[in-house]
Protein backbone atom coordinates (compact mmCIF):
# COMPACT_ATOMS: atom_id res chain seq x y z
CA UNK A 1 0.00 0.00 0.00
CA UNK A 2 2.62 2.45 1.17
CA UNK A 3 4.97 1.21 -1.50
CA UNK A 4 2.29 1.73 -4.03
CA UNK A 5 1.54 5.17 -2.66
CA UNK A 6 5.11 6.45 -2.61
CA UNK A 7 5.93 4.47 -5.71
CA UNK A 8 3.50 6.80 -7.51
CA UNK A 9 5.80 9.74 -6.67
CA UNK A 10 8.82 7.97 -8.06
CA UNK A 11 8.92 10.02 -11.24
CA UNK A 12 8.20 13.24 -9.36
CA UNK A 13 11.02 12.69 -6.86
CA UNK A 14 13.32 11.74 -9.68
CA UNK A 15 12.59 14.95 -11.55
CA UNK A 16 12.59 17.24 -8.50
CA UNK A 17 16.23 18.10 -8.85
CA UNK A 18 16.03 18.52 -12.65
CA UNK A 19 16.05 22.03 -14.13
CA UNK A 20 12.62 23.52 -14.82
CA UNK A 21 11.35 23.21 -18.37
CA UNK A 22 8.26 25.40 -18.14
CA UNK A 23 8.29 29.18 -18.09
CA UNK A 24 5.81 31.76 -16.92
CA UNK A 25 4.60 32.50 -20.42
CA UNK A 26 3.73 35.15 -21.41
CA UNK A 27 5.51 37.04 -18.62
CA UNK A 28 8.67 35.24 -19.45
CA UNK A 29 9.61 33.89 -22.87
CA UNK A 30 12.13 31.39 -24.06
CA UNK A 31 14.57 32.43 -26.76
CA UNK A 32 13.30 31.51 -30.20
CA UNK A 33 15.30 29.31 -32.54
CA UNK A 34 17.18 31.02 -35.39
CA UNK A 35 14.82 29.80 -38.08
CA UNK A 36 11.58 30.77 -36.35
CA UNK A 37 9.17 32.44 -38.78
CA UNK A 38 7.24 35.44 -37.54
CA UNK A 39 5.80 38.72 -38.66
CA UNK A 40 7.42 40.27 -41.75
CA UNK A 41 9.39 43.46 -41.95
CA UNK A 42 10.38 45.52 -44.98
CA UNK A 43 14.02 46.53 -44.71
CA UNK A 44 15.92 49.59 -45.81
CA UNK A 45 19.45 50.12 -46.97
CA UNK A 46 21.82 51.97 -44.69
CA UNK A 47 21.21 55.20 -46.56
CA UNK A 48 17.53 54.92 -45.69
CA UNK A 49 16.39 53.82 -49.16
CA UNK A 50 13.77 51.14 -49.25
CA UNK A 51 15.01 47.80 -50.46
CA UNK A 52 11.65 46.88 -52.00
CA UNK A 53 11.50 47.49 -55.74
CA UNK A 54 7.89 46.43 -56.13
CA UNK A 55 8.73 43.47 -58.36
CA UNK A 56 5.86 41.40 -56.99
CA UNK A 57 7.89 38.20 -56.95
CA UNK A 58 6.80 37.69 -53.32
CA UNK A 59 3.17 38.10 -54.32
CA UNK A 60 3.70 35.76 -57.23
CA UNK A 61 5.24 33.01 -55.13
CA UNK A 62 2.93 33.31 -52.12
CA UNK A 63 0.95 30.08 -51.80
CA UNK A 64 -1.63 31.70 -49.53
CA UNK A 65 -2.09 34.67 -51.87
CA UNK A 66 -1.78 37.06 -48.95
CA UNK A 67 0.61 39.62 -50.45
CA UNK A 68 -0.50 42.49 -52.67
CA UNK A 69 2.17 44.68 -54.27
CA UNK A 70 2.06 47.43 -56.83
CA UNK A 71 5.09 49.18 -58.22
CA UNK A 72 5.48 52.72 -59.45
CA UNK A 73 8.01 54.77 -61.36
CA UNK A 74 10.64 55.95 -58.91
CA UNK A 75 10.68 59.75 -58.69
CA UNK A 76 14.18 60.70 -59.84
CA UNK A 77 14.35 63.86 -57.73
CA UNK A 78 13.35 62.09 -54.52
CA UNK A 79 13.92 58.38 -55.00
CA UNK A 80 12.29 55.92 -52.65
CA UNK A 81 14.49 53.01 -53.63
CA UNK A 82 17.54 52.68 -55.84
CA UNK A 83 16.62 52.00 -59.46
CA UNK A 84 13.67 52.74 -61.67
CA UNK A 85 10.84 51.21 -59.73
CA UNK A 86 9.74 51.10 -56.12
CA UNK A 87 7.07 49.32 -54.14
CA UNK A 88 4.20 51.76 -54.00
CA UNK A 89 1.70 49.48 -52.33
CA UNK A 90 2.78 46.63 -50.09
CA UNK A 91 0.19 44.72 -48.12
CA UNK A 92 0.24 41.43 -46.26
CA UNK A 93 -2.92 39.88 -44.93
CA UNK A 94 -1.79 38.07 -41.76
CA UNK A 95 -5.05 36.18 -41.49
CA UNK A 96 -3.98 34.35 -44.59
CA UNK A 97 -0.22 34.20 -44.16
CA UNK A 98 1.10 30.76 -43.30
CA UNK A 99 4.63 32.03 -42.59
CA UNK A 100 6.19 29.70 -45.13
CA UNK A 101 8.83 32.33 -45.98
CA UNK A 102 8.72 31.67 -49.69
CA UNK A 103 8.42 35.44 -50.12
CA UNK A 104 11.75 35.87 -48.33
CA UNK A 105 13.34 33.33 -50.62
CA UNK A 106 11.88 34.94 -53.73
CA UNK A 107 12.91 38.49 -52.87
CA UNK A 108 15.82 39.56 -55.09
CA UNK A 109 16.85 42.43 -52.79
CA UNK A 110 16.29 40.96 -49.31
CA UNK A 111 13.65 43.62 -48.82
CA UNK A 112 11.19 41.38 -47.10
CA UNK A 113 12.38 39.25 -44.20
CA UNK A 114 10.65 37.67 -41.26
CA UNK A 115 11.21 38.53 -37.64
CA UNK A 116 10.66 35.94 -34.93
CA UNK A 117 7.71 37.79 -33.44
CA UNK A 118 4.57 35.75 -33.87
CA UNK A 119 2.57 36.88 -30.85
CA UNK A 120 0.00 39.20 -32.34
CA UNK A 121 -3.75 39.03 -32.70
CA UNK A 122 -6.40 41.30 -34.11
CA UNK A 123 -9.85 42.45 -33.27
CA UNK A 124 -10.76 43.34 -36.84
CA UNK A 125 -9.96 42.00 -40.28
CA UNK A 126 -8.68 45.39 -41.36
CA UNK A 127 -6.07 45.32 -38.60
CA UNK A 128 -4.77 42.02 -39.95
CA UNK A 129 -3.83 43.62 -43.27
CA UNK A 130 -0.46 45.23 -42.71
CA UNK A 131 0.43 47.96 -45.15
CA UNK A 132 3.80 49.40 -45.98
CA UNK A 133 3.41 51.84 -43.12
CA UNK A 134 3.40 49.01 -40.57
CA UNK A 135 5.80 46.68 -42.33
CA UNK A 136 8.61 49.09 -43.16
CA UNK A 137 11.30 49.49 -40.53
CA UNK A 138 11.55 52.87 -38.85
CA UNK A 139 14.35 55.40 -39.21
CA UNK A 140 16.58 53.40 -36.86
CA UNK A 141 16.01 50.18 -38.75
CA UNK A 142 13.76 48.85 -36.00
CA UNK A 143 10.43 47.22 -36.76
CA UNK A 144 7.44 49.37 -35.97
CA UNK A 145 5.76 47.66 -33.06
CA UNK A 146 2.01 47.73 -33.22
CA UNK A 147 -0.01 48.02 -30.00
CA UNK A 148 -1.29 44.49 -30.36
CA UNK A 149 2.12 42.96 -30.93
CA UNK A 150 4.27 41.50 -28.20
CA UNK A 151 7.83 42.61 -28.91
CA UNK A 152 10.35 41.97 -26.19
CA UNK A 153 13.72 43.49 -25.50
CA UNK A 154 16.15 42.38 -28.19
CA UNK A 155 13.53 40.93 -30.50
CA UNK A 156 14.13 43.67 -33.02
CA UNK A 157 17.65 42.38 -33.55
CA UNK A 158 16.33 39.27 -35.17
CA UNK A 159 14.38 40.68 -38.04
CA UNK A 160 16.25 38.88 -40.80
CA UNK A 161 17.56 35.88 -38.95
CA UNK A 162 16.00 33.19 -41.04
CA UNK A 163 17.44 34.50 -44.26
CA UNK A 164 20.91 34.70 -42.78
CA UNK A 165 20.68 31.26 -41.23
CA UNK A 166 20.42 29.56 -44.59
CA UNK A 167 22.54 29.51 -47.67
CA UNK A 168 21.64 32.09 -50.26
CA UNK A 169 21.83 29.63 -53.10
CA UNK A 170 20.55 26.58 -51.30
CA UNK A 171 24.01 25.05 -51.52
CA UNK A 172 25.67 23.90 -48.34
CA UNK A 173 29.02 25.27 -49.49
CA UNK A 174 27.72 28.79 -49.27
CA UNK A 175 26.24 28.56 -45.80
CA UNK A 176 27.50 31.35 -43.65
CA UNK A 177 28.86 33.23 -46.63
CA UNK A 178 27.70 36.82 -46.58
CA UNK A 179 25.66 37.43 -49.70
CA UNK A 180 23.28 40.06 -48.44
CA UNK A 181 23.35 43.81 -48.41
CA UNK A 182 23.58 46.06 -45.42
CA UNK A 183 20.56 47.02 -43.36
CA UNK A 184 19.67 50.32 -41.83
CA UNK A 185 20.63 50.28 -38.15
CA UNK A 186 22.52 47.02 -38.41
CA UNK A 187 25.06 47.35 -41.18
CA UNK A 188 26.12 44.17 -42.82
CA UNK A 189 24.80 41.52 -40.51
CA UNK A 190 26.58 38.35 -39.52
CA UNK A 191 25.40 34.95 -40.62
CA UNK A 192 23.05 33.31 -38.17
CA UNK A 193 23.73 29.92 -36.75
CA UNK A 194 22.29 27.43 -39.11
CA UNK A 195 23.37 23.95 -39.78
CA UNK A 196 27.02 24.71 -40.33
CA UNK A 197 29.70 25.43 -37.76
CA UNK A 198 30.98 28.68 -39.20
CA UNK A 199 28.82 30.94 -37.09
CA UNK A 200 29.43 33.66 -34.60
CA UNK A 201 26.71 33.55 -31.97
CA UNK A 202 28.35 36.33 -29.98
CA UNK A 203 28.08 38.69 -32.89
CA UNK A 204 24.53 37.84 -33.77
CA UNK A 205 23.22 37.41 -30.25
CA UNK A 206 21.77 34.24 -31.56
CA UNK A 207 21.07 31.28 -29.36
CA UNK A 208 21.13 28.05 -31.24
CA UNK A 209 18.27 25.66 -31.23
CA UNK A 210 20.38 23.21 -29.24
CA UNK A 211 20.89 25.88 -26.64
CA UNK A 212 17.30 26.96 -26.42
CA UNK A 213 16.04 23.41 -26.12
CA UNK A 214 18.71 22.30 -23.70
CA UNK A 215 16.16 21.38 -21.06
CA UNK A 216 14.61 18.91 -23.40
CA UNK A 217 17.75 17.18 -24.51
CA UNK A 218 19.41 14.31 -22.71
CA UNK A 219 22.82 14.78 -21.15
CA UNK A 220 24.33 12.25 -23.50
CA UNK A 221 23.23 14.38 -26.37
CA UNK A 222 24.65 17.54 -24.82
CA UNK A 223 21.49 18.62 -23.01
CA UNK A 224 20.61 18.86 -19.34
CA UNK A 225 18.11 16.07 -18.98
CA UNK A 226 19.52 13.16 -17.06
Partner 1 sequence: MTEKLTNEETVTFTLNGEEKTAVKGELIIEACEKNGEFIPRFCYHPRMKPVGMCRMCLVEVSSPRGPSLQPSCYVEIQNGMEVNTQSDPVKKAQDGVLEYLLLNHPLDCPVCDKGGECPLQDQTLSYGPGESRFIEEKRHFLKPLKISSLVELDRERCIQCGRCIRFAKEISGEAEIDFAGRGEDTEVAIFPGKEFDSYFSLNTVQICPVGALTAVPYRFKSRPWDLEQIESTCQFCAVQCKLSVQSSQNEILRTLGIDSDAVNQSWLCDRGRFGFEAIYSSNRVNSPKIKKDGEFIDVSWPEAVEEVARALSVAKIANGPDSIGFIGGARLNNEGAYAFSKLAKGVIGTDNVDAQLSDGIDPNLIFGLRRATINDLDQAEIVVTLCGDLREELPVLFLRLRTLVANEALLLAEFSIGETPLSQYAAFRRSLVPGKVQNLLEELKDSFLSSFGRDDFEQKDGGIVFVVGNPGIGIDGLEIEHSIRALAKSFPNAKFLPALRRGNIFGALDMGLSPGLLPGRVTLKSHGSFFGDKWVCVPEKVGKNTKEMLQSVIDGTMDTLILLGSDPISDFPDKNLVLKAFEKAKNIICVESIMNESTKYAQVILPASMDHERAGTVTNLEGRVTHAGDKVTASGASFDDWVIASLISAELGDDLGFNSREDIGSEICSFAPAYRSTEKYFISGNDFGDGVVVPIAQVPVSIRARKSDPIEVPGLSSIERQGSPIRSGNSLPSSVAKVGSESQISFDNSMFDLNSTVSYKLLEEKRESSFYLVLEKSLYDNGTLLRESKSFENSARESYFKLNPVLLAELGVNEGDMITVSKESVKVKGRVVADSLVSVAVVVASWNQNSADSRELISLDNVNIVEVER
Applying CB under 8 A, which residues contact partner 1?
53-57, 59-60, 70-73, 83-85, 108-109
Q: Between 70 and 226, whose beta carbon lies closer to partner 1?
A: 70
SS3 assignment for the chain? CHHHHHHCCHHHHHHCCCCCCCCCCCCCCCCCCCCCCCCEEECECCCCCECCCCCCHHHHHCCCCCEEEEEEECCCCCCCCCCCEEEEEEEEECCCCCCCCHHHHHCCCCCEEECCCCCECCCCHHHHEECHHHHECCCCCCCCCCCCECCCCCHHHHCCHHHHHCCCCCCHHHCCCCCCCCECCCECCCCCCCCCCCCCHHHHCCCCHHHHCHHHCEHHHCCCEC
Q: Between 56 and 215, whose beta carbon lies closer to partner 1?
A: 56
Instruction: Give min distance, CB of 73 to partner 1, in A.
Output: 6
Q: Between 103 and 209, whose beta carbon lies closer to partner 1?
A: 103
Instruction: Give min distance, CB of 174 to partner 1, in A.
Output: 14
Instruction: Give min distance, CB of 52 to partner 1, in A.
Output: 10
Q: Between 71 and 193, whose beta carbon lies closer to partner 1?
A: 71
Q: Between 43 and 109, whose beta carbon lies closer to partner 1?
A: 109
Instruction: Give min distance, CB of 85 to partner 1, in A.
Output: 4
Instruction: Give min distance, CB of 162 to partner 1, in A.
Output: 21
Amino acid sequence: MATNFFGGFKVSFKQISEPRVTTEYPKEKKPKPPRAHGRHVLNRYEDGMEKCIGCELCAGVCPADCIYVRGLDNPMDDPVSPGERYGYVYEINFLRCIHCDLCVEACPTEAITESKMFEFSFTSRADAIYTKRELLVDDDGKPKAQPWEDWREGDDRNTSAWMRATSPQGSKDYEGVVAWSSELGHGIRHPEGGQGDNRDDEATGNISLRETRKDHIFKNDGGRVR
